[in-house]
Amino acid sequence: MTEMRLTPLQYMERVAAHFGTAPHAVFVSTFGCQQNEADSERLCGMAHAMGYADAATEEEADLILINTCAIREHAELKVLSYLGTLKALKEKKPALLVGVCGCMPAQGHRVEQLKKSYPYVSFTLDPASLDKLPEVICTLLEGGRRRFVTGEENPPIAEGLPCARRVRHKAWVSIMYGCNNFCSYCIVPYVRGRERSRASGDILREVETLVADGCHDITLLGQNVNSYRGDCDFAALMEKIACLPGDFRLRFMTSHPKDVSDRLISVMAEHGDKIAPHFHLPLQSGSNDILARMNRRYTRERYLTTVGKLRAAMPHIALSTDIIVGFPGETEEDFNATLQVIEHVEFDMIYSFLYSPRKGTPAATMEAQVDAAARAARMERLLAVQNDIALRLATPYVDRTVRVLADARGKQEGILAGRTDTNRLVYFAAPEEMIGQFAYVKITRAEPFALRGELINPK
Ligand code: SF4
């Protein structure tokens, strides 16, 4: 153990000095959500600052970082199986460091399992301790023993850590961490702790730097962005960012329906030049009984009122949602209530999930678990309803010209994939050099989940 506590930046310098000019490489493997993607960019940024270059494969790496997800048991099993594949590598290369980071090692039973059954895991870091990466690497390189780090209950947010963004044209910016909501099916509050918000000045500086560096699509991230409480509320933060100069569009996720404020809706409407006309509002269920069992703390009526306000303020706003199918106690009547809301609202996109019990959450031990066949049948019905709606909403795009941020290569040669301001996926023929730029595309074909079109001009 290192006696004197240095800052993360000082530890990074110390590791870099330890390596000198000897080449070292890091491989980062990310499981789970956008928050984990964003966290991995920080882990990677810190590794670079310590002198690690990127390794193309695990075999080339001296440090393997696995950023894990605990949202479903299945996600954890995938990580454990991946870890199993690294055992032989560690035997071949004893100096290899393997770190398991993120939500999985925030659970005591998983840490015990990693300690006992995976002796080649060199260290763990829970989500609140990621800034300890340089310190842990430093102590291990200096001969220290395996480390299993769990953070304090409400640690201060470490600002100024380096970040290795995967692409230049779009970025996630975490504005807060943790969650206070305790939805009955969700493990997040147990593994990511209570809400902690960054100061608005730090967020603004980060956005300014991104925009100056050519970033055109910025998504503010938080488990429930509506409960952002830095030195202002979320609506005020959005307004401050939307007033920054530059050619960018602003998105956010995720928004809890119980906390959407009228002020946020008016800020979105007033700053339509910057704030994307898209709102992801997770419904989860259209049945008030099920919403109560989920501890969501809104009703279907309140949800529909919010949708009405959004549409009144921004008639062309795109709405997307999350639905859990087969939550414990969900009857045919409850499920039909969900379908009714879906048909009434007409979401552009639905992310639907079959309920699966998550150990450690209240819902996992609730009575009346819905059997797998009923869950699957309901999911099929939901998908059929949503397919029709998605196609119905996509069709009016034909012959319209839309602004698209070219994002990546499509599956076919010469075709790029991008997103409209409303977050619709668009495929169009264009040179690869256009990736990262806004383009205007005339839509020629509509499919439920993608549009196809022709490039009108590069800007
Ligand atoms: S709001 Fe609910 S679903 Fe979202 S992270 Fe918090 S507890 Fe989980």
Domains for the chain: give ranges and CATH numbers.
Answer: 8-149 (3.40.50.12160), 170-395 (3.80.30.20), 398-457 (2.40.50.140)
Q: For position 119, what pLDDT does the model report?
A: 96
- Closest residue by Cα to residue 187 from 78, 299, 285, 109: 109
For residue 247, the CA-to-ligand 1 centroid distance in Å is: 32
Best of 71, 181, 191 for a ligand 1 pocket test (most atoms within 8 Å of beta carbon): 181
For residue 347, the CA-to-ligand 1 centroid distance in Å is: 21
DSSP tag of 128: G
For residue 186, the CA-to-ligand 1 centroid distance in Å is: 6
User: Which ligand 1 atom sits nearest the alpha carbon of residue 224?
Assistant: 1
Alpha carbon distance 97, 136 (integer Å):
11
For residue 450, the CA-to-ligand 1 centroid distance in Å is: 29
Q: For position 440, what pLDDT does the model report?
A: 97
How much is the pTM? Answer: 0.94
- Closest residue by Cα to residue 415 from 456, 459, 454: 454
Q: Cα–chain-centroid distance for residue 202?
A: 20
Q: For position 392, what pLDDT does the model report?
A: 96
Query: Could you tell me if 75 and 66 are in contact, meaning their C-beta atoms sit under 8 angstroms apart?
Result: no
Q: For position 152, what pLDDT does the model report?
A: 74
- Closest residue by Cα to residue 348 from 278, 453, 416: 278
| Protein residue with its CA nearest to atom 2 in ligand 1 | 183
Q: For position 1, what pLDDT does the model report?
A: 47
Check the CA dihedral 285-286-292-297 and report its sign.
Answer: positive
Alpha carbon distance 317, 309 (integer Å):
11
Query: Could you tell me if 160 and 199 are in contact, meaning their C-beta atoms sit under 8 angstroms apart?
Result: no
Using the CB atoms, write b or e for 291-307: b if 16+ within 10 Å.
Answer: bebbebebebeebbebb
Query: Could you tell me if 418 and 428 are in contact, meaning their C-beta atoms sit under 8 angstroms apart?
Result: yes
Task: With residue 176 as reference, give the H or E element that holds it.
Answer: strand 176-177
Tokens 């209950």, residue?
153
DSSP tag of 6: P
User: Which ligand 1 atom sits nearest the alpha carbon of residue 256?
Assistant: 1
For residue 248, the CA-to-ligand 1 centroid distance in Å is: 28
User: Which ligand 1 atom sits nearest the alpha carbon of residue 295?
Assistant: 2
Residues having CB within 6 Å of any atom of ligand 1 = 179, 181-183, 186, 188-189, 223-224, 256
| Protein residue with its CA nearest to atom 8 in ligand 1 | 186
What is the number of other CB atoms lying within 10 angstroms of the CB of residue 93?
A: 12
| Protein residue with its CA nearest to atom 1 in ligand 1 | 181
Q: For position 3, what pLDDT does the model report?
A: 57
Best of 183, 226, 295, 351 for a ligand 1 pocket test (most atoms within 8 Å of beta carbon): 183
For residue 181, the CA-to-ligand 1 centroid distance in Å is: 6
Alpha carbon distance 165, 210 (integer Å):
10
For residue 283, the CA-to-ligand 1 centroid distance in Å is: 12
For residue 67, the CA-to-ligand 1 centroid distance in Å is: 20
Q: For position 144, what pLDDT does the model report?
A: 86
* pLDDT beneath 70, residues of the chain: 1-4, 458-459
Using the CB atoms, write b or e for 424-457: b if 16+ within 10 Å.
Answer: bbbbbebeeebbbbbbbbebeebebeebbbebee
Alpha-helix runs per DSSP H in 68-132: 73-84, 87-92, 108-117
Query: Could you tell me if 293 and 366 are in contact, meaning their C-beta atoms sit under 8 angstroms apart?
Result: yes
Q: CA 97, 164, 136: angle at the middle one, nearest 5?
A: 30
| Protein residue with its CA nearest to atom 4 in ligand 1 | 223
